[in-house]
Amino acid sequence: MIPAAVLDAKPGEKILDLCAAPGGKTTQMGCAMRGEGLIVCNEPVPKRAQILSRNIERMGLPNCIVTCARPEQLAYQWPEGFDAVLVDAPCSGEGMFRRDPNTRMEWSAAKAEGCSERQREILSAAAGLVRPGGRLVYSTCTYNPQENENNARWFTERFREFSIEPFTLPGIEGEQYMFTCYPHRIKGEGQFAVSFRKSGNKAGHLPQDHSVRTASDQEKELFADAFPSLPEATHRIGNTLIFIPELPDLKGIRTYRIGLHLGDIRGRIAIPDHAAALCIGTTGVPSIELSPEQAVMYMGGETIPEDARGWIRLCYRGIAIGWGKGSDGMIKNHYPKALRSSRFLP
């Protein structure tokens, strides 16, 4: 989690996580932003992008867009659009050898060389995405200097508008403003991080999207009447109303998730989305605290014996886990079927 801490995302910023799957760093930065601003998380591999999208849904991030595109495509479409870009690049994975010994068998000098070349390609694209005065954090999970320190020095020589800037975290201070997590320095797996600052001072600009339909006043009113504590819808995709603070131009970019999915409109009926239950705060939301036994039943797909009426947000130890709908002394289960598991049940 060190690279996300080094980038230090702030509420209101425009952030791009360029190699984001499975999403741990995106969610870490998204939580720090408290739903304000925009965070785009990108993964070029479709299967990994699907996993990334599911994790964003689980965390209920309201200001996040999940894309599946090559870095060069994003650099062409969104030049100098972001306050900060994180490049947690694909690497030879030496820092994972202790956790997963099988990865040792996949290592080779040729693979490390290929990783270094690919990392330079990604960094070259990332350079064009950072606004003047913005920052770029580059990280790997390897010890290899060819992929780490050498690439950092190559980047500043190739892109002279960038310079390495210092960072300090509790217990961490990198030599020459770079830091590698060796076992004798810090508990955890191997990681490398370096922070760059782009010269100049200019606000980032992202062209706005006009291809996604905006939500009508009637649709907003219908959903707000049913769920007054949810954010007001900004757009509609199919039957799904969504909320996104800012929507950049997505034309030609494969997109897996846009903003917070509030719920579906089916005729005159509003049905809340799972992600909306996980995002919203406790104020004004009808909620029920589940016992450990009830929480197990709910996550396994069972109905819950409980006196409640209408849509209820179900919580365990104060943490929202999903929606249910109460009627006739029972709460019908609306936990997504894809997330249910019989392993939760006795």
Same structural domain, 7 and 144? yes
Q: How far apart, in whole angstroms, are the C-alpha atoms of residue 340 and residue 58? A: 13
Domain contains 259: no
pLDDT of residue 281: 56
The domain in which residue 307 lies consists of 283-346
pLDDT of residue 283: 60
301 with 186, same domain: the answer is: no
The domain boundary, picked from 170, 198, 226, lies at 198
b vs e for 252-278, b when ≥16 Cβ sit within 10 Å of the residue's Cβ? Answer: ebebbbbbbbbbbbeeeebbbbbbbbb
* Judgement on whether residues 187 and 297 belong to the same structural domain of the protein: no
Q: Are residues 193 and 318 in the same domain?
A: no
Exactly one of 68, 91, 115, 141 is catalytic; name it. 141
324 found inside a domain: yes
In a domain, 270, yes or no: no
Is position 46 within any domain? Answer: yes
* Within-domain flag for 223: no
What is the Cα 91 distance to its own chain's centre?
A: 20
Tell me if the bond preceding 346 is cis, omega within 30° of 0: no
Q: Decide if 35 is inside a domain.
A: yes
CATH of the domain at 290: 2.30.130.60
Q: What is the CATH number of the domain that holds 186?
A: 3.40.50.150
208 within a domain of the structure (yes/no): no
- Do 170 and 296 share a domain, yes or no? no
Q: Does residue 331 share a domain with residue 188?
A: no
Structure confidence at residue 316 (pLDDT): 93
Q: What is the Cα–Cα distance from 100 to 189, expressed in whole angstroms?
A: 11
Condensed to tens digits (0 to 9), the pLDDT of residues 202-258 reads: 999 999 999 999 999 999 999 999 888 888 999 999 999 999 999 999 999 999 999
User: What confidence score (pLDDT) does residue 173 get?
Assistant: 63
> For the chain, which ranges sit under pLDDT 70?
173-176, 280-284, 344-346
Could you tell me which of 254, 340, 345 has the C-alpha nearest to residue 297? 345
Number of structural domains (the chain) is 2
Instruction: Say if residue 313 is in the same domain as residue 190.
Output: no
Residue 342's CB is within 10 A of a number of other CB atoms, namely 7
State the pTM of this model: 0.92
Considering the domain architecture, whether residues 149 and 32 belong to the same structural domain is answered as yes
Residue 298's contacts (CB-CB under 8 Å, 6 or more residues apart) are 290, 304, 314, 321, 322, 324, 333, 335
Instruction: Return phi, psi of residue 229, to 5°.
Output: -90, -10
Final residue of a domain: which of 153, 180, 198?
A: 198
State whether the Cα torsion 116-122-124-129 is positive or negative. negative
Same domain, 141 and 11: yes
> Of 181, 198, 215, which marks where a domain is finished?
198
Is-catalytic flag, 141?
yes
Quick check: is 107 in a domain? yes
